[in-house]
Amino acid sequence: MNELIEAVPYLGKRNPRLTKWLIIILALVAPLIAAYFGRSWMRILDFALLYMMLALGLNLVVGFAGLLDLGYIAFYAVGAYTWAFLASPHFGVHMPFWIVLPLGAAFAALAGIILGFPVLRLRGDYLAIVTLGFGEIVRIFMNNLNHPVNITNGPQGINALDSLNLFGWNLSQSLTIGDFKIHYLYLYYYFFLLCVIGSIVFIKRLQISRVGRAWAAMRDDELAAKAIGINVRNMKLLAFSLGATFGGVAGGLFGSFQGFVSPESFSLMESIAVLTMVVFGGMGNIAGAIVGALALTALPEILRNIALPVQEALFGTVILDPEVLRMLLLSLAMILMMLLRPAGLVPAHARYSRPELLKGGA
Amino acid sequence: METLLQQIVNGLVVGSVYALVALGYTMVYGILGLINFAHGEVVMIGALTALQTLLILMGVAPDMAPLLKLAIAVLVAMPVCMILGFLMERLAYRRLRGAPRLAPLITAIGMSFLLQTLAMIIWGRNYHTFPQLISTAPMQPIPGVFVTPVQVAIVIVSALVMAGLILLVTKTRLGRAMRATAENHRVAALMGVDTNAIIALTFVIGAGLAAVAGVMFASNYGIAHYAMGFMPGLKAFTAAVLGGIGNLGGAMLGGIVLGLVEAVGAGYIETMTFGFLNSSYQDIFAFVILGIVLIFRPTGLLGERVSDRA
Amino acid sequence: MIKLLEARGVGKRFGGLTALSDVSLTINKGEVYGLIGPNGAGKTTFFNVLTGAYIPDDGEFVFNGTELPTGKPHLVVQQGIARTFQNIRLFGQLTALENVMAGHHIRTKAGLWGILMQSKHAIEEERLTTERAFELLKYVGIERFAHTICKSLSYGDQRRLEIARALASEPQLLALDEPAAGMNATETGQLKVLIEQIRHDGITVLLIEHDVKLVMGLCDRVAVLDFGKKIAEDVPAVVQKNEAVISAYLGGPKHAH
Ligand SMILES: Nc1ncnc2c1ncn2[C@@H]1O[C@H](COP(=O)(O)OP(=O)(O)OP(=O)(O)O)[C@@H](O)[C@H]1O
Ligand SMILES: [Mg+2]
């Protein structure tokens, strides 16, 4: 939270308390504001929260532990497909969320460990390529495992996934209290918001702990980390599997929200997009992941709404379609950020200790 | 038996193109320790530039001899790619030489996607037919085994180009300077080598090879499009690692071996897995090989041992 | 005298180069043991095989009566050996305090669950770690920089910080690789006092150092390496007069700073 407050320009340093309340209020009323601009913006907001979870998870792997994972979206896919297998008409299984979501997280963590065991000895850049390969392999399997036995339904994907049902309360049905009707997009928003806040709390606790320091140590100097007794392999595995867990949970939520999964949602470009969010916000700090995810989910949409009419007006046709715009934006963000501001948009110093624990105050 | 031979022929052809691309990866890695992710995109730009040139030539001089057209297309694509390689190094990678280790890598990934996007903007999303200027009429040197003239040309040209590169690196002063720089930048600089120029040159040469490879890919498959460079790029990188990264001979060997494994593997994967996996899984081979090599023999087939200094 | 560490016929080769050959030596509890020799003699390599950074080709180390594992640095630290590096290797993005806290990692136990749930035990352990780290910063005399990112510390302070970090793992044997390198006379003087204090507090010290005065003033015994071989071992005064040692130093580059 403090990092996020500091990240707010100008006001953050002058009046942290006010900033804090502003952030909280903004988080609460955001969907109302979005609704003013239309339903699609509410969906975008919900997606921004999912991306935040992904960025938080990937930040743990890349930013804290220093492992460049280019196949992160595979864990998202594992979570989403777990939901699709266990809560949809595809196999006719309809398990409740409190089984499917943890299972998805567990499968994702398992996938992280399976991938991690052999590859974590590799140097940073090799690791990047091998994880990229892993992501592609997962996607190839999703695309082709519809034959000889139909497991994933191939490129068509799986439809009609169960929506999130919190102990009898179905989040995809609008809630009616008296005359008041709350649209389901709000319900998802607040539920996702809770999940993001939960993630932040957990990750913050990890960051300021022996584990977080061990990650930072091996990221900054692996050899020295070994020399102070850190079991580097175990710590990397832990980072990998925990990061994957976040991906898995986010994937399950994605499945329930979208109601539909297909391999297309888990392309390499998505891994890169999440990585860009982490890089854009600032590797290794939580506020960075949040800001990066928010900015890079919203920006393409804003561009879409501005650039398309402008192009229509200027050239009479659309030259850069939204997908191209998004790619252009992401790739430029990645390059320019590295060249001009490698610490990210929110170059907060991530802290790994709580100085207030010192008796004397120091 | 014929199928096996046929797969070997196909593997050899694809492998020699991989080898050309792998050389670019391995040279840059040898000298900077950087995986230039965007190298595969240079291949793509080479192919599409050549395509564009051919289209123009067909409009202006429809009667020109096909081989001449192709030669001109290559001669246009090469400098375009070389300039691109030069710019990438100059504008991005050079500024990141002292940066934390993930920075250049992330930049390279961004570069790769930027080039794809630019190509998408210029040439659109569609697959383009690449004119087959060398005959694709199959010959049968051995009954049941088909070889096309274009395939023969690919193997010959890449062999020639690689031989030229080897001569350049081993026999010329420039090559010595390159090797010295790869060995140790500072020492090379002390010996009077302009290491910045050498590094830029390495990018330029690699990009030139990539342009040739791009034309070969496009000619072999008869198509070109904005994303055509990515997968072959990754595979070529795998080839470079397989052969021993930083090692020119290794890159060539790795390319050929990978091409063969892939082709033969794709032909037999269905029987090997009792019909569970089919040739749509072909792309998996490269990654599996990459994983296995990196885990069990990270130095590759011809690489030397390098250890981090404590 | 109680043996703390015994090296038995340790050898290490890099390709054709023999960095260590048949090195045997014994370090007793409570002493400051010097390891000297010209550049490239194999001193750092000795540290590296001792602490598990490299795997020795021959021989073994016996520590407190048990054989040390090879190639497993974290287990060596667990046994009670900590080291510093010739070319300072701190954790660049951490503060001085956090560097030392990281050094305490091996002596803490909080698990994932405890950390995520902020169990009583985890909180208490974190508090102890923080306090202990701060104590160690005081011990080496840089507590005023506790919350400074370690990269912005002066060279001498970084060296002390590395010592504090090593001490945080609660070693019985502290191996220092040229701790005085790059220090001025005042700093070296302070370092000498610090090492004496460390010895006084019951920690055995293995010291690689080129600064002859420091070595002679601090060490109880000294071993000399040359081309990977131990050519002498004795009290400083005797070693100083040893023919082989003198010619080794004259043969190679000089090091009296
Ligand atoms: N990882 C390595 N790979 C190859 N050779 C090495 C490696 N580490 C050390 N060497 C070589 O082993 C020999 C001994 O080196 P070492 O670093 O142990 O010397 P040293 O006594 O610490 O010297 P200095 O006083 O310069 O620190 C040197 O010739 C060195 O080049
Ligand atoms: Mg040394």
Candidates A118, A140, A342; nearest CB to B283: A140
- SS3 label, residue C122: helix
248-267 of B, contacting A, C-beta below 8 A: none
- Give the type of residue at C215: V
User: How far apart, in Å, are the Cα atoms of C169 and each of C105, C124, C176?
Assistant: 7, 18, 14
B271 lines ligand 1 (CB under 6 A): no
Candidates A132, A144, A334; nearest CB to B106: A334
User: How far apart, in Å, are the Cα atoms of A177 and each of A30, A163, A167, A182?
Assistant: 21, 21, 18, 8
The pLDDT of residue C251 is: 64
Smallest CA separation from ligand 1 atom 3, residue:
C14
Residue with tokens 């030489």: B97
* Nearest C-alpha in C relative to B100: C92
Cα separation, A147 vs A221, in Å, equals: 47
pLDDT of B2 strictly over 90: no
Which residues have CB under 8 Å from A220's CB, separation 6+? A66, C90, C91, C92, C93, C94
Which residues have CB under 8 Å from C159's CB, separation 6+? C84, C88, C179, C180, C181, C182, C183, C191
Angle at alpha carbon of residue A341, lines to A336 and A347, rounded to 5°: 140
Going by the DSSP 8-state scheme, the letter that residue C178 receives in this structure is: S
Least confident of A154-158, C67-71, C218-222: A154-158
The pLDDT of residue A218 is: 94
Cα separation, A72 vs A268, in Å, equals: 9
Residue A124 CB neighbours (<10 A): 15
Smallest CA separation from ligand 1 atom 17, residue:
C44
Shortest distance between the Cα of A119 and any Cα of chain C, in A, equals 18
216-235 of B, contacting A, C-beta below 8 A: 234
HSE-CB of A134 using CA atoms within 13 angstroms = 30
The pLDDT of residue A130 is: 87
Where exactly are the structural domains of chain A?
38-267
* Structural domain span for residue C94: 3-255
Task: Tell me the pLDDT tens digit for each residue of C135-159.
Answer: 999 999 999 999 999 999 999 999 9
The two three-digit tokens of residue A224, written as one number: 């020295």
Provide ipTM, 2 decimals.
Answer: 0.92
The pLDDT of residue C256 is: 44
Angle between helices C96-103 and C155-167 (to 10 degrees): 30
B236: in domain:
yes
How many domains, in total, are found in chain C? 1
C38 lines ligand 1 (CB under 6 A): no
Cα separation, B37 vs A24, in Å, equals: 41
B96: in domain:
yes
Task: Tell me the pLDDT tens digit for each residue of B230-288.
Answer: 989 989 998 998 898 888 889 999 999 999 998 888 877 777 777 777 767 778 888 88
* Tens digits of pLDDT across chain A (362 residues): 666 776 676 666 777 778 788 888 888 888 888 778 888 888 899 999 999 999 999 999 999 999 999 999 999 999 999 999 998 888 888 888 889 999 999 999 999 999 888 888 787 778 888 898 889 889 989 988 887 788 888 888 898 788 887 776 777 777 777 667 677 778 888 889 999 999 999 999 999 999 999 999 999 999 999 999 999 999 999 999 999 999 999 999 999 998 899 999 999 889 999 999 999 888 888 998 999 999 999 888 888 888 888 888 888 777 778 888 888 999 999 999 899 988 888 766 778 998 888 865 44
Q: Which residues of C touch B305 (CB under 8 A)?
A: 15
Cis peptide before A148 (omega within 30 of 0): yes
Indicate which of B101, B102, B306, B309 best probes the interface with C, i.e. most C CBs within 10 Å of its own CB.
B309
pLDDT of B152 strictly over 60: yes
The two three-digit tokens of residue C126, written as one number: 């974190």
Task: Tell me the pLDDT tens digit for each residue of A67-115.
Answer: 999 999 999 999 999 999 998 888 888 888 889 999 999 999 999 999 8
Cα separation, C198 vs C193, in Å, equals: 9
* Structural domain span for residue B163: 2-129+146-306
Shortest distance between the Cα of A324 and any Cα of chain B, in A, equals 6
The pLDDT of residue B142 is: 82
Cα separation, A321 vs A336, in Å, equals: 22
B48: in domain:
yes
Tell me the sheet residues that pair with B129: B223
C129 lines ligand 1 (CB under 6 A): no
Interface contact flag, B110 A338, Cβ < 8 Å: yes
The pLDDT of residue A362 is: 45
- Give the type of residue at B276: F
Whether residue B130 contacts residue B218, with contact meaning beta carbons closer than 8 Å, is answered with: yes
pLDDT of C228 strictly over 90: yes
B141: in domain:
no
- Where b means 16+ CB within 10 Å and e means fewer, A204-242 reads bbbbbbbbbbbbbbbbbbbbbbbbbbbbbeebbbbbbbb
pLDDT of B290 strictly over 80: yes
The pLDDT of residue C254 is: 45
Cα separation, C244 vs C248, in Å, equals: 6
* Residue C169 belongs to domain with CATH number: 3.40.50.300
B139: in domain:
no
- Please give the backbone phi and psi of residue C21, each rounded to the nearest 5 degrees, phi first: -140, 120
Q: Mark residue C228 as left, alpha or beta (left: phi above 0; alpha: psi -120 to 50; beta: remaining).
A: left
Q: Which residues of A touch C50 (CB under 8 A)?
A: none
Angle at alpha carbon of residue A281, lines to A278 and A287, rounded to 5°: 100
Tell me the sheet residues that pair with A175: A182
pLDDT of B225 strictly over 90: yes
Interface contact flag, B114 A331, Cβ < 8 Å: yes
Cα separation, A161 vs A172, in Å, equals: 11
How many domains, in total, are found in chain B? 1
pLDDT of C257 strictly over 50: no
Interface contact flag, A224 C91, Cβ < 8 Å: yes
Tell me the whole-structure pTM to 2 decimals: 0.90
The pLDDT of residue A225 is: 96
pLDDT of C201 strictly over 50: yes
Going by the DSSP 8-state scheme, the letter that residue A356 receives in this structure is: G
Shortest distance between the Cα of C231 and any Cα of chain B, in A, equals 24
B225: in domain:
yes
Closest C-alpha to B110, from A248, A271, A337, A331? A331
Averaged pLDDT for residues B45-49: 96
Least confident of A214-228, B37-51, B272-286, C120-134: B272-286
Distance C20 CA to ligand 1 centre (A): 10
Largest CA distance in chain B: 66
Which residues have CB under 8 Å from A156's CB, separation 6+? A146, A262
pLDDT of C20 strictly over 60: yes
Q: Computed over its alpha carbons, how large is the radius of gyration of chain C?
A: 19
pLDDT of B120 strictly over 90: yes
Mean pLDDT score of chain B: 88
In percent, the amount of chain B with pLDDT more than 90 equals: 50
